[in-house]
Amino acid sequence: MYRLWVESFGTRTSTKISLDVTLGAAGPQGPAGPEGATGATGPAGPQGATGAAGPAGVQGPAGPAGANGQSVTATPLAQGDVSCPYGGSAFVSASGTSYACNGAPGATGLPPTCAAGEIAVSTGAGQWACRIFCQGARADCDGDAANGCETNTNSDLASCGSCGAACPAWQNGTAACQAGDCVRACKPGFTDCDGTLADGCEVETSADPANCGSCGHACPVGVQHVLAVTCRAGTCGLSCESGFTDCNPDVDGCETNTGSDIYNCGSCGNNCGIACHTDCWTCGWFDTCCQQTCTPRGCIQGVCQQ
């Protein structure tokens, strides 16, 4: 119950009214209103923690091999002071006690420090070995200190010029090592015409019509009455058609018909000559006159006629 007070004020009097009002029970709740609009996006939250590191990547391919190495403190030696059995140049280190040769293909890095009287030589990619210190053309090719500088690279067929540089075996010839260079000597009748070491003395100049007697000397072909061209003992020869022969030194093939040539009848130089006869008669009262007539003898089927 609620009490309502009403007051009225006039000019002279005032009235106060008191009302007691009893309120009825509350009505049922009305339906829910429509959903409000979406509010503005709030500010970004703080950054999260860093995640764990991923696994290591696959290793990349190996880089290219480095250039042939040599001592970074090396000073070239005077020529002839030391031999390099695998080629390259000789060096003396800053200390003056160790030597190095960088002639082997692919040798990299610094050579080792060898004992006094030894030389460091490159024997392959990244490989070095201490060998005996040798002078001139002598070299320690077997690595055995007991036999010293056992190899003469000026004359050794298996190590000609440097250790392991063997002179190849040549066909139709023999090999030799002279002053550190491989040379060849051809067998009699054979020659190296192409200048290639691999095939040795490849041409038999005693029998090759294209190189008869010497390189490039070809026997004539395509000439008259020739069946085949031959080379015997380094001299050109011809196989002639039947009845023909080569009787002169000219390059004209089998030019002579020995079946009918009166000067080369049956063979070169067989001259049939001439046949003469004399006719005589009486001329005047007591004289006899004679006349001689000569004619060349004929050649028929290679036979001189009488």
What's the CA gap between 47 and 273, in Å, rounded?
132
pLDDT of residue 153: 92
What's the CA gap between 80 and 240, in Å, rounded?
64
pLDDT of residue 67: 46
Q: What is the mean pLDDT of residues 103-120?
A: 64
The answer, yes or no, to whether residue 37 has pLDDT greater than 90, is no
φ/ψ of 11, rounded to 5, equals: -75, -40
pLDDT of residue 253: 84
Counting residues of the chain whose pLDDT is more than 70, the rounded percentage is: 68
Quick one: 120 exposed, middle or buried, by C-beta within 10 A (0-12, 13-18, 19+)? Answer: buried
Strands 99-101 and 118-124: parallel
pTM of the predicted model, to two decimals?
0.40
The answer, yes or no, to whether residue 11 has pLDDT greater than 50, is no
Q: Tokens standing for 276?
A: 């003469």
pLDDT of residue 137: 86
User: Could you tell me which residue, 65 or 38, shows the higher pLDDT?
Assistant: 38
149: left (phi over 0), alpha (psi -120 to 50) or beta: beta
pLDDT of residue 246: 87
pLDDT of residue 122: 65
The answer, yes or no, to whether residue 1 has pLDDT greater than 90, is no
